[in-house]
């Protein structure tokens, strides 16, 4: 089952739209679920995501115009997945703080955003994903952001995360495996 993870689009405030090469990759009919870390900013972005998959979950970012929940827990296959934008976790993107939140939510995978920098790591046998910014919008701290998103292929008790990054005009793909114990 394919789950698209992305966020921090900041359209139209910081970026005009998704990179063309990403748009080409994202076609309807392949993806079953979308988990969005927020900051879609406009309804149009949300509507675009809806065209890709029927099931879409969004949490509220810090510059959101629509009202979404602060955090969400979604179950896909055997995995409980926690979803949060990440501006609430201080320091931003800190592993220990995220672990605290993960324990609170009691999830197997915690997805957060806000830093605009892709990150995926295992910590205490749990999986943490930060898909970065799909548009490459600047963050509060950095100007040069690599556009990126993550696609999770969830099969029973394993997750294969494909990381798509747009580096110097080319799409690079990485693959990270995670198994639940």
Partner 1 sequence: MPLQAAAAAAKLLKVCRRQEENHQEGYCSIINTLRLEFTIANMYHSVSETSHPLQTEEQEIGIDPLQSYLHKPGEGGSNENGSTHHTSDSDGTFLSYSKEWEELFVNNNYLATIRLKGINGQLRSSRFRSVCWKLFLEVLPQDRSQWIKTTSDLRTSYTKIKEIHITNPRKAGQQDLIINNPLSQDEGSLWNKFFQDKELRAMIEQDVTRTFPEMQYFQQENVRKILTDVLFCYARENEQLLYKQGMHELLAPIVFILHCDHQAFSHASEAAQPSEEMKVLLNPEYLEHDAYAMFTCLMKTAEHWFSTFEHDSQKEKDVMITPMPFARPQDLGPSIAIVAKVNQIQDHLLKKHDIELYMHLNRLEIAPQIYGLRWVRLLFGREFPLQDLLVVWDALFADSITLNLVDYIFVAMLLYIRDALISSNYQTCLGLLMHYPPIGDVHSLILRALFLRDPKRNPRPVTHQFQQNLDYYKARGADLMNKTRASAKAAPLNINKVSNSLLNFGRKLIAPAMASGGAVGAPAGGSSFPPPAMPIRSAVEAPQHHQQHHQQHHQAQQQRMMKSESMPVQLGKGQSSKNISSSPSIESLSGGREFTGSPPLSASKKDSFFSTISRSRSQSKTMSRKESEEELEAQISFLQGQLNDLEAMCKYCAKMMNTHLGNIQEVILQEHLEKEDEILVSLAGLKQIKDILKGSLRFNQSQLEAEENEQITIADDHYCSNSQNKGTGDVLKGPVMTKQQFVSGRQTTTDSSTSENKSADDYIMVSKEEEGSRSAVPEPAQSLQAHKEAPVKPEAPSRSALIFSDPLMGSISPSSSNLSSSPDDDSSNNSKDSDFAIVSPLDI
Q: Given phi > 0 = left and psi -120 to 50 = alpha, else beta, which region is 29? A: left
Number of residues that bind partner 1 (CB under 8 A): 18
Under rule CB under 8 A, residue 15 binds partner 1: no
**Comparison of 2 and 74: residue with beta carbon closer to partner 1:** 2
Length of the chain equals 181
Residues 119-158 that bind partner 1 (CB under 8 A): 151, 153, 155
Residues 157-176 that bind partner 1 (CB under 8 A): 160, 162, 164, 171-175
Question: What is the CB neighbour count within 10 angstroms for residue 101?
Answer: 19
The residue within the footprint of partner 1, chosen from 12, 13, 23, 27 (CB under 8 A), is 27
Under rule CB under 8 A, residue 23 binds partner 1: no
DSSP string, 92-149: TT-HHHHHHHHHHHT-SEEE--SS-S-EEEEETTEEEEE---SS----SS-S----EE
CA dist., res. 57 & res. 69, Å (int): 10
- Chain position carrying tokens 């998959």: 53
Under rule CB under 8 A, residue 24 binds partner 1: yes
Under rule CB under 8 A, residue 18 binds partner 1: no
Under rule CB under 8 A, residue 29 binds partner 1: yes
Beta-ladder partners of 3? 33, 152
Which residues bind to partner 1, rule: CB under 8 A? 2, 24-27, 29-30, 151, 153, 155, 160, 162, 164, 171-175
């Amino acid at each position: 089952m394919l789950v698209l993870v992305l966020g921090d689009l900041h359209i139209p405030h910081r970026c005009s739209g998704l990179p063309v090469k990403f748009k080409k990759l994202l076609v309807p009919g392949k993806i079953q679920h979308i988990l969005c870390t927020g900051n879609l900013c406009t309804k149009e972005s949300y509507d675009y995501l809806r065209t890709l998959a029927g099931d879409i979950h969004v949490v509220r970012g810090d510059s959101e115009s629509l009202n979404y929940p602060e955090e969400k827990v979604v179950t896909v296959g055997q995995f409980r997945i926690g979803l949060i934008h990440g501006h609430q976790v201080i320091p931003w993107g800190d592993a220990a703080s995220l672990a605290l939140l993960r324990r609170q939510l009691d999830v197997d995978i915690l997805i957060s955003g806000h830093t605009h920098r892709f990150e995926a790591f295992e910590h205490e046998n749990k999986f943490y994903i930060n898909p970065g910014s799909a548009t490459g919008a600047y963050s509060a701290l950095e100007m040069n952001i690599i556009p990126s998103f993550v696609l999770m292929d969830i099969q029973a008790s394993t997750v294969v995360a494909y990381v798509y990054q747009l580096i110097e005009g080319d799409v690079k793909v990485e693959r990270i495996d995670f198994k639940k114990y």
